[in-house]
Amino acid sequence: MTNVVKQLNQIQADAHAFFIAFHDYHWNVKGLQFYAIHEYTEKAYEEMAELYDDTAERAIQIGGKAILKADELVKLGAKAPVLQKDSYTPTEVLEEIRKAYKYLVEEFKKLEEVAEKAGDTTTSNMAQDHYGDYEKKIWMINQTLA
């Protein structure tokens, strides 16, 4: 397995972990901004489903394999920073999602680095697109929490 496939698999597992965590936030947020955060987290977990699919497909396109076993997803996804509680305030939800996005920026920068070393410009460009998107989302959350 190449380093590019390994990093794609890591991000695939991270997306799975965040998909579950964002559902938790979606269902268990409480407070005056419940509705807005409920809507926001729905979009966020749908984006994680797309990320899960995109990284799996890219791994397969370059000759690797996607992660299909739950135990592998859980093992690799354990790196992802996820808070687990019975309920969350809107601020906690945004802080946790920001933390997830910061983590993904770093993981995509690692992907860019290994893809460039491998001469895989398509995966490198994919990584740049994703971390640029997450940097914007982080800025928007920062502005919301200011």
pLDDT of 83 over the 90 cut: no
Task: Name which of 111, 105, 104 is nearest 58 in CA terms.
Answer: 111
Show Cβ contacts of residue 30 under 8 Å, excluding neighbours closer than 6 positions: 87, 88, 89
Q: Are 24 and 41 within 8 A, CB to CB?
A: no
Domains of the chain: 3-145 (1.20.1260.10)
Phi-psi category of 31—alpha, beta or left, where left has phi over 0 and alpha has psi -120 to 50?
left
**Using one digit for the tens of pLDDT, what is the confidence trace for 16-26?**
999 999 999 99
Radius of gyration for the alpha carbons in the chain, expressed in angstroms and rounded: 15
Strand partners, 29: 88
Q: What letter represents residue 58's amino acid?
A: R
For the chain, what's the residue count?
A: 146
So what's the pLDDT on residue 5?
97
Which ranges of 1-146 would DSSP assign to H, the alpha helix?
A: 3-28, 34-61, 70-77, 90-117, 121-145
Instruction: Please state the pTM of the whole predicted model.
Output: 0.93
Maximum Cα–Cα distance across the chain: 50
Mean pLDDT of the chain: 94
**Using one digit for the tens of pLDDT, what is the confidence trace for 88-143?**
999 999 999 999 999 999 999 999 999 999 999 999 999 999 999 999 999 999 99
So what's the pLDDT on residue 89?
96
The Cα–Cα gap between 141 and 83 comes to 17
Task: Report the first-to-last Cα separation within the chain, whole angstroms.
Answer: 43
pLDDT of 78 over the 80 cut: no
